[in-house]
Amino acid sequence: MVDQKLRATIITGRTIDQGVGKELGKGSQEYFDSAAVCFMDKVDMIKLGLRNGANVQVTSKYGSVVVKARKFPRGSMPGMVFIPCGLWANAVCGDDTFSMGMPMFKGFPVDVEPAPDQTVLTLNELLKKEFGKGM
Amino acid sequence: MTTELKSIVCPICGCLCDDLEVTVEDNKIVKMKNGCAVCEAKMVHGYNSEERILKPMIRKDGTLVPVSMDEAVHKAAQILADAKYPLLFGWSSSTSEAQRVGVELAEELGSALDNCCSVCHGPSVMATQEIGIPTCTLGQIRHRADLIVYWACNPWASHPRHVERYTNFSEGRFEKSEWKEYIQKIKATSGKKKLAAAARQSHFMKYQPPPRPQTCVVDAPPQTIQKMGRKMIVFDVRKTMTAEAADYFVQVEPNKDYEIIQALRCLVNDQELDVDKVGGVPVEYLKEVADALVNCEFGVIFFGLGLTASAGRFRNIEIAIALTRDLNKKTKFVISPMRGHFNVTGANVVFAWQTGYPYALDFSQGYPQYNPGENTAIDVLRRGDNDATLVISADPGAHFPKAAVQNMMKHPLITINPDWNAISRLGDVVFPTQWCGIEYEGTAYRMDHVPIVLRKVVEPPQGVLNDEELLTRILAEVRKIKAEKAAAAPPKTKCAAKVEAN
Ligand code: SF4
| Cα A22 to middle of ligand 1, angstroms | 14
Of B62, B238, B373, Cβ closest to residue A72 = B238
The three-point CA angle A4-A7-A9 to 5° equals 145
User: If contacts are CB pairs under 8 Å, which of residues 292-321 in chain B contact chain A?
Assistant: 305-306, 308-311, 313-314
Q: Is B35 close to ligand 1, i.e. is its CB under 6 Å away?
A: yes
A-B contacts (CB, under 8 Å): 213
- Alpha carbon B327 to chain centroid distance? 27
Q: Locate the ligand 1 atom nearest the alpha carbon of residue B38 and give its number.
A: 7
Q: Quote the pTM value.
A: 0.93
The three-point CA angle B19-B22-B23 to 5° equals 155
Q: E strand or H helix at B431, and its extent?
A: strand B429-431
pLDDT tens, A27-62?
A: 999 999 999 999 999 999 999 999 999 999 999 999
| Cα B93 to middle of ligand 1, angstroms | 13
Q: Is A71 helix (H, G, I), strand (E, B) or coil?
A: strand
Chain B residues near residue A100 by CB distance under 8 angstroms: 122-123, 126, 313-314, 372-373, 376
* Whether B50 contacts chain A with CB within 8 A: yes
CA distance B174 to chain A (A): 31
Q: Is there a contact between A97 and B400 if contact means CB atoms under 8 Å apart?
A: no
Task: Profile chain B (502 residues) by mean pLDDT over runs of 10 residues.
Answer: 94 97 96 96 93 96 95 98 97 97 98 96 96 96 97 96 95 89 82 79 57 62 89 95 94 95 97 94 96 97 96 95 97 97 97 96 96 96 96 96 96 97 96 96 97 96 96 98 90 64 55
Burial zone of B385 (CB within 10 Å; 0-12 exposed, 13-18 middle, 19+ buried): middle
Strand partners, A37: A68
pLDDT at B214: 46
d(CA A55, CA A77): 20
Strand partners, B303: B151, B337
d(CA A100, CA B118): 8
Instruction: With a cut of 80, say whether residue A81 has pLDDT above it.
Output: yes
pLDDT at B213: 45
CA distance B250 to chain A (A): 12
pLDDT at B94: 96
d(CA B368, CA B385): 17
ipTM comes to: 0.95
Chain B residues near residue A44 by CB distance under 8 angstroms: none
Burial zone of B266 (CB within 10 Å; 0-12 exposed, 13-18 middle, 19+ buried): middle
Quote the strand ranges of chain A, DSSP E: 6-13, 37-40, 55-59, 64-71, 80-84, 106-114
* Whether B421 contacts chain A with CB within 8 A: yes
Q: Is there a contact between A95 and B382 if contact means CB atoms under 8 Å apart?
A: yes
Based on DSSP, count helices (H) and strands (E) in chain A, helices before strands.
5, 6
Q: In what order do the strands lie in the sheet with B332-337?
A: B248-251, B231-236, B147-151, B298-303, B332-337
Q: Please report, rounded to a whole number, the percentage of residues in chain B having pLDDT higher than 90.
A: 85
d(CA B244, CA B70): 54
* Whether B466 contacts chain A with CB within 8 A: no
Residue (of A68, A73, A66, A85) closest to A11 by Cα position: A85
Q: Is there a contact between A106 and B122 if contact means CB atoms under 8 Å apart?
A: no
Please report, in angstroms and rounded to a whole number, the separation of the first and last CA atoms in chain B. Answer: 66
* Whether B372 contacts chain A with CB within 8 A: yes
Q: Is B36 close to ligand 1, i.e. is its CB under 6 Å away?
A: yes
Strand partners, A70: A39
pLDDT at B501: 56
pLDDT tens, B146-189?
A: 999 999 999 999 999 999 999 999 999 999 888 888 888 888 88
Please report, in angstroms and rounded to a whole number, the separation of the first and last CA atoms in chain A. Answer: 45
d(CA B344, CA B339): 7
Residue nearest to atom 5 of ligand 1 (CA): B35
Instruction: With a cut of 60, say whether residue A126 has pLDDT above it.
Output: yes
pLDDT at B211: 47
Torsion (CA) B235, B239, B244, B250 in degrees, nearest 10: 30
Whether the CB-CB separation of B221 and B289 falls below 8 Å is answered with yes
What is residue A75's DSSP assignment?
S
pLDDT at B128: 96
Q: E strand or H helix at B231, and its extent?
A: strand B231-236
pLDDT at B204: 52
CA distance A88 to chain B (A): 8
pLDDT tens, B423-473?
A: 999 999 999 999 999 999 999 999 999 999 999 999 999 999 999 999 999
| Cα B296 to middle of ligand 1, angstroms | 28
Q: Is A11 helix (H, G, I), strand (E, B) or coil?
A: strand
d(CA B324, CA B178): 24
Strand partners, A81: A10, A40
Instruction: With a cut of 90, say whether residue A133 has pLDDT above it.
Output: no
